[in-house]
Amino acid sequence: MSVFSLRRAAPVFIASLLTAITLSACKPGAADATQSTPTTSSLVPGEQAVAVFAGGCFWCTESDFDKMPGVLSTTSGYTGGNVENPTYEQVSAGTTGHIEAVLVSYDPTITSYAKLVEAFWPTIDPLTANAQFCDQGEQYRSAIFYSTPEEKAVAEASRDALQASGRFDQPIVTEILPGAVFYPAEEYHQDYYMKNPLRYAYYRNGCGRDDRLEQLWGKKG
């Protein structure tokens, strides 16, 4: 079985259809799919905030963000498309307009949207459009989502500073997009790197993700 087909060979669980949630719906009790994207203003100590990032394979993006101080939880899912309750098969086939993404719930007293954005860059290839590593197609493109004008300004300033730094000769193509309805992926995708560490390691290594990241960003630590 090739690395390219490994992720698509995971078993399909046809339980109940997942309910669409907005970016704010990861908070306990939030279930109104008609809400707009969340705001992180007027936060009180202990309140959660959320942000969404797309970095190709959501197994990998989950794993990367889970290591960050202040991150409370991560949820793999799909956003930005035109089909309600999309399945993994539909999204991975590129037929729904969705992007594989991860919703990050975090404690704003420990970290911030700006810090999440800065931590995100070294986990992706920002120079390749409509793909990340071995996963090809618009559904795997990299993107940073914002929910307020302030978050948009933060993301754009971070991108512009990275471009101006001279690290890359090529333009940064990672998109900065307004938040949209976020659909959680099927349960077997959640925390996949913990549930299936050997298959995850085989996929990540075979996909060349870390080799490309080292080429772009240098060795970790």
Cβ neighbors of 138 (< 8 A, separation 6 or more) are 94, 97, 99, 130
Write the DSSP symbol of residue 9.
Answer: G
Where along the chain do its domains lie?
45-212
Closest CA to 80 of 104, 103, 113, 57: 103
Name the catalytic one among 26, 57, 60, 134: 57
CA 191 to chain centre: 13
Q: Residue holding tokens 């990367």?
A: 64
Please tell me the predicted confidence (pLDDT) of residue 142: 98
Q: Which amino acid is at 7?
A: R
Reported as a single tens digit per residue, the pLDDT across 8-45 is 444 332 223 233 333 333 323 333 333 333 333 334 44
Q: Which phi and psi (to 5°) does residue 5 adopt?
A: -95, -10
Known catalytic residue at 26 = no
CATH number for the domain running over 45-212: 3.30.1060.10
Stretch 155-166: mean pLDDT, rounded?
Answer: 98
DSSP string, 43-79: --TT--EEEEEEESSHHHHHHHHHTSTTEEEEEEEEE
How is residue 207 annotated by DSSP? T
Write down the pLDDT at residue 47: 78
Contact present, 217 and 162 (Cβ < 8 Å): no
In the structure encoding, which two tokens stand for residue 182, read together? 């976020």
123-142 residue pLDDT tens: 999 999 999 999 999 999 99
What is the CA 157 to chain-centroid distance, rounded?
19
pTM recorded for the entire structure: 0.81
